[in-house]
Structure 1
Amino acid sequence: MKLMFLRRWFSLQWSFQGKIFAAFGLITLLSIVSVTGIVYVNMRETIKHNAVTSVSDSIRQADESFNIMLEEIDRLNTVVVTNKNTVIDTIMSPNEEISYEWFQEQKRISEFLSGLVNYKPYISRIAVVGLNGKVFFTGGPWLDRTVLGTPMLNYMLLNGSRHAYFKPEGTADAITVGREIRYNRETVGIVMVDLDYDFIKKTYGVKPTADSMLYVLDEQNGYVYQPESTPTSFTPSMETVVQLKQKLAGQGNAVEQKINGKSYIVVSRLSDYTGWTTLALIPLDSLLSESTRIRNLMAEVSIIVFIVVLIGSHQVSSRTTLNIRRLRSMMMQVKDGNLSFPKLEITAKDEIGQLYRVFISMVEELKRLLEGIRISEKKKREAELTALQAQIRPHFLYNSLNTIKYMAKLNGVPNIEEVSGSLIELMRGLLGNSNEFITVREELDYVFSYISIVKYKYMEPIQVHTEIEDDALLECRVLKLMLQPLVENAIMHGIGPSGHGGYVLIRVYEEAHDLRIEVTDNGKGMTREQMDALLGTAGTEETPSRFSSMGVRNTHERIVRMFGDPNGLKLYSEQGLYTKVEIRFPKLQRAEESDQEVI
């Protein structure tokens, strides 16, 4: 069973149906793979582009929201540092703690600060710290004069000419925004506002996937915000995040980067207001997990579609080649010689149907031709039998004519002797010489033998003259019995009917490397219609010759058929004056040349 299947498969491969099936399958496979691949790649790129766009927009919105809060805090700080009566005078006041005046000042500045931060939930504390040790604040946590000399206060004093942003190392609860308080061109204190870190986490809580990470770094490459790490999550080192920040500073806002062997899309944004850099790390595996599932689904669907197309293409190719197989079966029977095979009707109107009808007509024509050949062969065998029965051996005919010639000589009848001798020479040329080409000299001898026979038919003498331009032309090769029909026609139809004799001039000369022969008589001449009829150009029957088996028209056709135009015969005549036949013929000097021309 398996062997039969393999045989059928290999035969199908090399058949026309197999080629159609393979072509359908290959085109379908390439189409499915191409479409699936293009869709999958475009889908991946679209997902990555949408993720980058979404994260970039989210980071931009978070940065803008955060900047709004910072701008409002900066305005609050500006209000504080420019308030002389409540803030600066209180800081510069000589009143000591635990005094009535100090309590009044504490109450007044606390109410002022509370009024500034009311209804601002993102501010956890606002404080005014004098360099003289006075500390006023509202909110939490607690703050006292121990803040003096701390790194945070020193940073504010160093960078707070306008605004300073500080996040204490190792803490994750606040970011402090401060500004120095100046009086008489001297720094007298610091106003500080702490942002609630929960608001920062909510603002930067951008997570396109569950394992995405977002970092905010200040200008000193310190963390302003970083995601909370879990035991199962991967957290890049501070050095890696700083390197990414520096790398993206010159490459745009989104790149693909491998971190610890894992691919990430890294999106960055630099805040023009704070100078902070926001970095978002999105794992490609998590981002494209849905595309992987869709890819697998597309692969399964593609396989199912490919199988269905293969089955359909097999059916289509089988139905398409059915008529071809029928036509092939009929052709094989014709090849085996069976022309009466049963015809499998093909009614299709397509090219196969047209081919079937042409093939049937060709078979019918072949049958007709074979029948014609059969009839022709039968007639040929009958003709051969008739020719065989009617054939007289040449030596028997020669002996009989020689006997007549000898008896005429014995009885003193020279004219019969002459006619018998001339007839012997003609018969020897006709029956004894099988060559198609002879010399001009031999052809003229046949003509004079013919004249010797036919002159006794007429009462008046008929003179035949020859003009040879060069004796070497007598050795040129010409077609056998080419001149005799022309001379015969001149005597029988030109001179003979006049009843008063005449002459025939045969002129042989060379012109333009061709052999030219002219046969001119002084007979009654011919009309144009008679000349056309003689050469067969008017569609009339050939004028028969009484001796030669070939007439004037046959001579012309033999020359044209063998050597082509413009060779052949041309007729010139005037009634009552003359008729001239001009023969144009290639000059052939050796038998080898004539044989080559015949081939």
Structure 2
Amino acid sequence: MSKLINWYGSLGLATKQFIYLFIVTLLLVMVLAWRNLHEAESLLKNQVIRDAELLVGRTNQYIDASLDNVENMLLLLSTRSDLLKEGNEETAFDTLRKFANYNNSIAKTLYMVRSDGKVFASTKVHYEIIGNPHLPGLYELALQNYGAINVSEPYYSPMSGHTLAYVLPITGTKKEVQGVVVAEVSLDLLTERISPMIYQSYALFTRDGNVINRLDSRDKLLPFRPASYPPALQDSFQEQLVSLKVGVSSIDGNALKPLVAVKSTTNRLGWSLAAFIEEDYFYQDLKKLNNNYRTASIVWTVVLLFSAYLLSRSFTKPIRRFVEKMDRLNDVQVVAKLPVTRRDEIGRLTQSYNAMLERIQSLLQKTKSAEEQKKEYELKMLRSQIAPHFLYNTLACISSLAKQQRIDEVRETIRSLVKLLSFSFDKQSEYVSIEEELEGLCMYMHIQQVRYGDQYRYELDIDPSLLQYRILKLTLQPLVENALFHGITPHNGGVITIKGKLERSMIRLYVRDDGVGISRDEIGKLLYSNPEQECSKYRFTGIGLRNVHDRIRIHHGEPYGLRIGSLRGAGTVIRLDIPVLTESDEHLGIWS
């Protein structure tokens, strides 16, 4: 083996590729051919079995429908107790004859047996000449099972031939038994009707294995008892019929030939229908397919030899040249396009390579631009941390409170201002916890309530489990400030509600006001307005909605940011989507 490996290693690239392509492709074709042949055999077998199951199911339904007709006739006749009265003999004969001549019925002969032994038959003349010795036993069978319909085992009747009987008592108004109605089913007629539905052999049998349909001695699949008339199945085969499972199974037929048996579920009489298909039937049409595969394999081997040789030669040379050109590319940022001189796969590969280099350069430029923009926003944020107008107005408010001797309110306002300034300046990181962001927001709203009174109210409904997660500093404050001065102030007061929950693997914060609302056109301008526009003198910072929206997208990507919904006169809702970010993620630089 080692000599073979060394010999293969000493060969040239083209020869190696030729041998590899030929052997691998030949093995692949052989495996595929073998699998396809067996798949074809399996598909054909499954198709035939599915057809057989369908035929068996439909045949079983037809048998049930035929037996339903017999049961319906018995039920109708069991209500005609008046036919058993003295003087109604002719009416009874005519009624039975009409029912027996029903077109879709397989009932051969109908009887009404009175409790005193008087018999009315649908074929009056035949009964008076031939008679039927089974009627007393059928009368006793009808009185069993609490007056329900009973069915006998198959027997031979002088009136109906190979048959079985349905029996049902006839009761009067006081539920006393006045007689019995009997219907003998023609099993020969049933066999004639269901035989065309099964394209091979079949057997309709009871729970005990007694075959109901009449068998044909010319059937070559089923094993019959020797010198038996009418034909009867061998005892061992009948025992196998009883043990067959519902569905598809195997069974030994005549001369121990393997058969595929497709058995139906039992009907309400406990009968089962089994169709038998010879195993060789599945493979007789595959011989021609097998020969075609053999011929195709020989032709394919010859073609493969020639194709593998040409393919190995045509591939190695252009690929080697392509690799040499790729090795010359050292700096990704300097896109040196490769010349496209071919129109085949190698040429398309060169075009794809050139396009890949262009995309890499474009991504590098976008990344660099995003980093520069990020730094620019960070600088803008630092420059616009505190708007001087807000500080002047707050100090003027404190001075006014001091003149009014409202010392407690002065103290609380100064404490809120100090905490708000500490929150803005002291934090080293651009990220704070949601709890810290809400504390800064509370300080800001406290100052606004001192300045403007109780017309501004706010409510917090944040899931406590979210307070530990990180958020960009001064994210909620600009949203609340916008709601305060553009929604609540023109409305002369209102409520700002801040909610938060974990939804779709992200944190969603909602800032809602019940102010004047805004139009659809103005919604678009809020996120795409000029970021350099002068902020209001009442604002705490110069950070607008677009600044918040852009900062979030720069740090976390396109799926995150602001969504605005509003209705004139009803208020505005701003939804803020941010990723679930912990303090450890922030230290590790995991932003999304």
TM tier, shorter chain?
A: 0.3 to 0.5
Taking structure 2 as the reference length, what is the TM-score of the superposition? 0.44
Normalising by structure 1, report the TM-score.
0.44
Larger gyration radius, structure 1 or structure 2? 1
